[in-house]
Amino acid sequence: MGKNMKKLISLILTSGIAFGAHAASIPDEPHVQVTGVGEVWATPDKVTLNVSVNEHSKDVVTAKKAADDKLAAMILALKEQGVASKDIHASQLNVRSKTRYNRDTQTNEFDGYEVSRNLSIILRNIDSYAQTLQGLIQQGANQVGQSQFGLTNHDELFSQAQQKAFKDANAKANTYAEGFNARIEKVYSISAQQDYARPMPQVEAMMVRADSAGSAKVEDAYNIGEIKVTAKVNAVFLLED
């Protein structure tokens, strides 16, 4: 194959391919650059729950005691459920004064104090996710943050995804080269990147009320789904002369 033709192939194969911040270096010789992608799906086996207790009162001590009592009840229930102390994280106290606008006097008037406590729990028995969350609400949690799902064996799964990305990069490079009657000589450079996607629990119905009955109804309101572990590799291959 002529030198000019190989330069043309190199230009065609590399045009329009945007590498990330860790892009592979580009040689002067005729080459092809590709991005290989590998994906592995897995069911999460742990989840971090984040809930808060917010109490309002004209007296800050009263509001604090109400928040502390509810948080203590939650922690006790979690331990009785089998959650380890190291997986329960209770934050410090947050206090702020509140005001409300008086239309008659057209002024902001003191409206008491709001005391909040945050609780973060790592739940390793993910099957109890819905019931645990419902129990926290029943015990006084009045604000629920985003749950974060994870994989204990993420590193192992990422290695599997990476192997798929390597194979994908090699296959793409050979396919592109063969399409222009060229051949791959060797790999010139490699750079890897990681994209770890976490799922959000899909709420199929509105949050059930704290006083609602029936465990099946609570569990049916959530569908946790799977986590996709993605590996990407950017590679530059030299073409044979």
Mean pLDDT, the chain, whole residue set: 83
The 10s digit of each residue's pLDDT in 65-94 is 999 999 999 999 999 999 999 999 997 789
* Cβ atoms of 199 and 225 closer than 8 Å: yes
Residues 74, 96 within the same domain: yes
- Domain span at residue 85 reads 46-150
The token pair that represents 31 in the structure block: 């080459």
220 belongs to a structural domain = no
Q: How confident is the model at residue 220 (pLDDT cuts 50, 70, 90)?
A: low
Give how many domains the chain has, as a whole number: 2
The 10s digit of each residue's pLDDT in 86-119 is 999 997 789 999 999 989 888 999 899 999 999 9
Residues 10, 52 within the same domain: no
**Mean pLDDT for the stretch of residues 54-59:** 94
Beta-sheet pairing, 227-239 with 184-197: antiparallel
211 belongs to a structural domain = no
Supply the pTM of this predicted model: 0.69
The 10s digit of each residue's pLDDT in 26-37 is 888 899 999 999
Residues 86, 144 within the same domain: yes
Comparing 142-156, 175-189, 190-204, 216-230, which segment has the lowest mean pLDDT?
190-204
- How far is Cα 30 from Cα 11, in angstroms, rounded to an integer? 8
* Cβ atoms of 240 and 190 closer than 8 Å: no
pLDDT value, residue 20: 47
37 belongs to a structural domain = yes
Residues 75, 127 within the same domain: yes
Q: What percent of the chain has pLDDT over 90?
A: 64
End-to-end CA distance of the chain: 7
Residues 194, 126 within the same domain: no
Place of tokens 């994908």: 168
Q: Tell me how many degrees the CA angle 208-203-116 measures, rounded to the nearest 5.
A: 60
214 belongs to a structural domain = no
| pLDDT at residue 195 greater than cutoff 90 | no
Residues 20, 72 within the same domain: no
| pLDDT at residue 1 greater than cutoff 60 | no
Residues 129, 169 within the same domain: no
Residues 33, 119 within the same domain: no
pLDDT value, residue 91: 78
Q: How confident is the model at residue 234 (pLDDT cuts 50, 70, 90)?
A: very high
pLDDT value, residue 15: 41
204 belongs to a structural domain = no
| pLDDT at residue 206 greater than cutoff 50 | no
| pLDDT at residue 212 greater than cutoff 50 | no
**Mean pLDDT for the stretch of residues 185-192:** 91
CATH of the domain at 86: 3.30.70.2970
Distance of CA 24 to the CA centre of its chain: 27
The token pair that represents 3 in the structure block: 């030198």
Closest CA to 147 of 92, 202, 105: 202
